[in-house]
Amino acid sequence: MTPVSTVVSFLALFLSLVVVVSGDVIRLPSQASKFFHPTEDDGDDSSAGTKWAVLVAGSRGYWNYRHQADVCHAYQLLKKGGVKEENIVVFMYDDIAKNKENPRPGIIINSPNGDDVYNGVPKDYTGKDVNVDNLFAVILGNKTALKGGSGKVVDSGPNDHIFIYYSDHGGPGVLGMPTSPALYANDLNDVLKKKHASGTYKSLVFYLEACESGSIFEGLLPEGLNIYATTAANAEESSWGTYCPEEDTSVQSEFETCLGDLYSVAWMEDSDKHNLKTESLHQQYELVKKRTAGNDSIHGSHVMEFGDIGLLSKEKLVLYLGTNPDNENATFAHENSQLRPFSGFTNQRDADLVHFWEKYKRAPEGSARKAEAQKQVLEAMSHRLHVDNAVVLIGKLLFGISEGPAVLNKVRPNGKPLVDDWDCLKTLVHILVNNLYFQSV
């Protein structure tokens, strides 16, 4: 080959790789980047194994719109990141998109002016199939234990990476499910230990959105399982909804409910923006922690991390979430990591009241809708009062009038699990649920 033909061939190759964006600005796609930097570690070695994901919205009811919106958004993020649909397992009750309260039938959004995140989401486990037994069977890859659903499980191998994301209500040591029973912290951690003992993953990342979510792992998730977990809140506080009517003026007036959750939206909006080959789990944790903390001591929560923090937090997000090719040049750096502050927060436990109150305010005077909303507000508030008074009374009967309230508010030292006797806790909760007419936690 002559020198001239060699130059021509090189120019042809170069021109086939560049993409004109506008004017004199050009960008190199990923293939070109690898050509010019063949030894660069992009954090997504194909020998690293297969990516798996389990996405769980543990609630039902239109006032809990945000949980399914979170999970649908997570699915779209993973798909754009290149995670195969057959490796993403979705749990959601699926009563939001076509709910009569939804102002955009068949559409779910996770932020004001956001895209539809519902379209294309697989209906792996919906309705009554969203339950604890099926979730555990999916994580363990146990198809024979499934009852209903698509039959999809995490059929992972020893070199694979697993991402689990759970969004719902929670309480000390417990996570909500749209069907009974609830999910208890000790049972979840036992399943994670069993998954590790089976030798069917290389590393596992767990993102958890719920009130008191820190109590799910504190004192229960040991090091040495190759698991890294972050939670929206510590063991003693609420997590928060965001993009809520009245609190955020950017929310369209047609919506009467919160569109997302603070912690969840924070990690997903960050992931949507960056090349995840360049951002580590720790970098995202720090960013999400700052954005979720709020601007005062009243609003916001303390994002926590558990498990093999030192071992896994330095890994790149691409190992678990993939990365959107459109973000090839969006290298993560502190100066480009800042997203706009949230302009309003709503306590997770008050999100139902926000919906009922907005519904009441906007309904025409004298309408059946206004009467229905008024009834929902009064029932929710009276139910809370009934439960609170009953628990205080139980405390006084057990520990005395003066000591009862203090005992009920005692918290174990940091690093300790919520309780030592989980069977006792489950029995107590079961009695309360059946006698005080608790709603799902």
pTM, two decimal places: 0.87
Residue 251: DSSP 8-state: S
Distance from C-alpha of 58 to C-alpha of 170, rounded to nearest angstrom: 10
Phi, psi (rounded to 5 degrees) for 196: -65, -45
Quick check: helix, strand or coil at residue 218? Answer: coil
The predicted structure's pLDDT at residue 33: 41
Tokens of 277: 């080959």
Q: What counts of helices (H) and strands (E) characterise the chain?
A: 13, 14
Quick check: helix, strand or coil at residue 20? Answer: strand
Distance from C-alpha of 322 to C-alpha of 77, rounded to nearest angstrom: 9
Least trusted range by pLDDT, from 180-189, 238-247, 295-304, 393-402: 295-304
Grade residue 412 by pLDDT with cuts at 50, 70 and 90. confident
CB burial string 60-80: b at 16+ within 10 A, e below: bbbbbbbbbbbbbbbbbbbbb
Least trusted range by pLDDT, from 26-30, 128-132, 422-426: 26-30
Distance from C-alpha of 401 to C-alpha of 399, rounded to nearest angstrom: 7
Q: Between residues 4 and 167, which one has the greater pLDDT?
A: 167
Does the pLDDT at position 1 exceed 70?
no
Does the pLDDT at position 39 exceed 50?
no
Rg over CA atoms, the chain? 24
Cβ 347 vs Cβ 189: under 8 Å: no
Q: Between residues 404 and 44, which one has the greater pLDDT?
A: 404
The overall longest dimension of the chain from CA atoms, in Å, is 98
- The partner residues of 227 in beta bridges, in order of sequence, read 204
Task: Calculate mean pLDDT across residues 331-344.
Answer: 66
Least trusted range by pLDDT, from 86-95, 195-204, 352-361: 352-361
Does the pLDDT at position 15 exceed 60?
no
Catalytic residues, which ones? 169, 211
Other C-beta atoms lying within 10 Å of the C-beta of residue 50 = 18
The proportion of the chain whose per-residue pLDDT surpasses 90, expressed as a percent, equals 72
Contacts of 364 (CB under 8 A, 6+ apart): 370
Does the pLDDT at position 410 exceed 50?
yes
Q: Nearest 5 degrees, angle CA 343-CA 346-CA 352?
A: 140
Which residue in the block uniquely carries the two structure tokens 């945000």?
66
Grade residue 440 by pLDDT with cuts at 50, 70 and 90. very low
Task: Calculate mean pLDDT across residues 231-250.
Answer: 91
The helix-helix angle for 368-399 and 351-362 (nearest 10°) equals: 150
Residue 135 to residues 69, 282, 316, Cα–Cα distance (Å): 19, 27, 26
Tokens of 168: 């719902």
Does the pLDDT at position 277 exceed 60?
yes
Tokens of 11: 């120019």
